[in-house]
């Protein structure tokens, strides 16, 4: 009977040790996952910051390219366009009233 009681106590101790190990294993794995997610979040925040800076620079470049004075200068100087004179304007669409 004594060996049965001892083996039962050993079995309970082994099960208790297994559950303690299992709980500690899960806790440490979740903690490591949390640390990894923190690093990933930091990298994503840096990438977002860089993309926002790139968006701002592209919007500034777009505003510069769409500047009307720049477009006028290119049309006149580089493409050779000229302003129409008084007799060169032709009315294409007429109102129904006239």
Query: Under 8 Å CB-to-CB from 44, ≥6 apart: which residues?
Result: none
Q: Where are the domains of the chain?
A: 2-82
83: left (phi over 0), alpha (psi -120 to 50) or beta: beta
pLDDT at 96: 65
Mean pLDDT, each 10-residue run in order, the chain (98 residues): 76 95 96 97 97 97 90 87 78 69
The pTM of the full predicted model, rounded to 2 decimals, is 0.56
Q: Which two tokens stand for residue 93?
A: 């669409």
Q: Are 82 and 76 in contact (CB under 8 A)?
A: yes
pLDDT at 31: 96
């Amino acid at each position: 009977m004594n060996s049965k009681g001892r083996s039962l106590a050993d079995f309970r101790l082994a099960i208790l040790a297994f559950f303690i190990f299992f709980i500690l294993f899960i806790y440490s794995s979740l903690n490591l996952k949390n640390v990894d997610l923190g690093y990933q979040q930091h990298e994503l925040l840096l990438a977002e910051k860089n993309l926002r800076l790139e968006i701002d620079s592209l919007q500034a470049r777009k505003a510069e390219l769409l500047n009307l004075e720049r477009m006028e200068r290119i049309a006149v100087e580089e493409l050779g366009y000229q302003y129409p004179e008084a007799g060169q304007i032709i009315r294409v669409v007429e109102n129904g009233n006239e």
